[in-house]
Structure 1
Amino acid sequence: MRKSVLILGGTTEARQLAGKLAAHEALRVTLSLAGRTEHPVAQGVPTRMGGFGGPEGLAAYFREHRIDLLIDATHPYAARISANAAEAAKLADVPLLALRRPGWEQVSGDRWSLVDDSTGAVTALGSVPRRVFLALGRQELLPFEQAPQHSYLVRSVDPVEPPLAVPNATYFLARGPFDRDAERAMLQAHRTEIIVCKNSGGGATYAKIEAARELGIEVVMFRRPLLPAVPGAESIDALVQLALHECDLTERGE
């Protein structure tokens, strides 16, 4: 009988992981997306959109669809979803694995200031007007209305609607991965003085950090949230092996 695997996704790694697991005929893979992105890229496996209704709703989904394994491959800052996943796995007695993307490490030449959230970032920007590049999701932008003295450059996957209630803001849509040379040119063209972003880890959006280092631009970086301690791995291949082992497929060479 095929084992049913539910992957909580929304990241490039989740899509790649789903593809690798779906290649095993003994597995039936479903990828779940929160639905925050209006036009997600094609995932390549059966996909479910939207929330579950908290841990209880997620646990009920496990029972209804006879889920054999849950994999949390959400964004490193999706702390609430990760917490709900851990609680639901306990409620339904379903094994849980996590794909934890390692964060970026500060190196020589980086000028990072660490904050907890957007409110902390607004404080870190200070009162003197600055040219700010906001590389954040739409959900984190509203607090910057409290600092209308700055000029903002806002990059997002989906349009920011309504736009920020500030006098100087420029918006553009883009989806990673990004190129270092292009990022450097963009920062120079907009005379950027400071960047606000998350420590997302991975290579898709690291180019702005490299460009900032080369240009001597300060970066206000969100600290990573505390996530549940569950079995897992930092790489896709390692997580695949853990998943196959959990589903009793490794010894048969599946």
Structure 2
Amino acid sequence: MFTTFIYEPEGDRAKAFAECHQQVLRDRQAHVLEVRDPRQATQLTTIEPLKQKKEHNTLQEERHRLRVVIPNAAMDKQHAYLGCSNYRRSADVPAEHTYTCTNYSAKNCVSSPRVTFSCEVSNGTGMLSLTFFTSDYEKLLKMSAPDIFRIKHTAFEAINALLRNTCILIEVGPQKALSINNVLQWVLKKIIVDDDEFGSKSKENPILANKLDDPAEAKINGNLKMAATGEA
């Protein structure tokens, strides 16, 4: 039993396959150029088209901006703890004490307040599950991790109300598993707190913005209001 390779196939079927392959390559290249276009970073999108994307048509370097609310924050999804200053691992060491991290045998680690927060964000077109780590959660609440650590039980209702009624501007992208295991999962890349970074004319802090000035984005704004109020 043997296999024969035909390097220059002929016929209508071979021609159709060749043309299809060339079209696939052209479409892929066009998508790469679109993703790398600097203007792409300034455009808002919605959750619905992100949920419809598949592994084969998503690039690892893709970034998408969303303006969302967090309608149903849960206290048990907020995890405040003392952890390693280098590797985020929990530590059974008093705050601000220097120690050797047993997880990585790293010296001069400092036990620091850290926090993670898992939630679902919405803009009226769907829900997206995200996790905020310490630096992003600090930007979200405009509080330091030690302050969040101190009020993690006593003031969560106030935090919940703030998140439910505040539109936030975030950037999401594929998790690294896309390039490693071909598994698509959207994760938080950053919270955008400086409009100048994206060339916006507005000087208003987008994390507190509850309206969109661009008429083309009015539909997204209306969806956000429905997500925040729970209206159908």
TM-score of the superposed pair, with normalisation by structure 1 = 0.20
User: Which structure's CA Rg is the greater one?
Assistant: 2
TM-score of the superposed pair, with normalisation by structure 2 = 0.21
More helix by share: 2
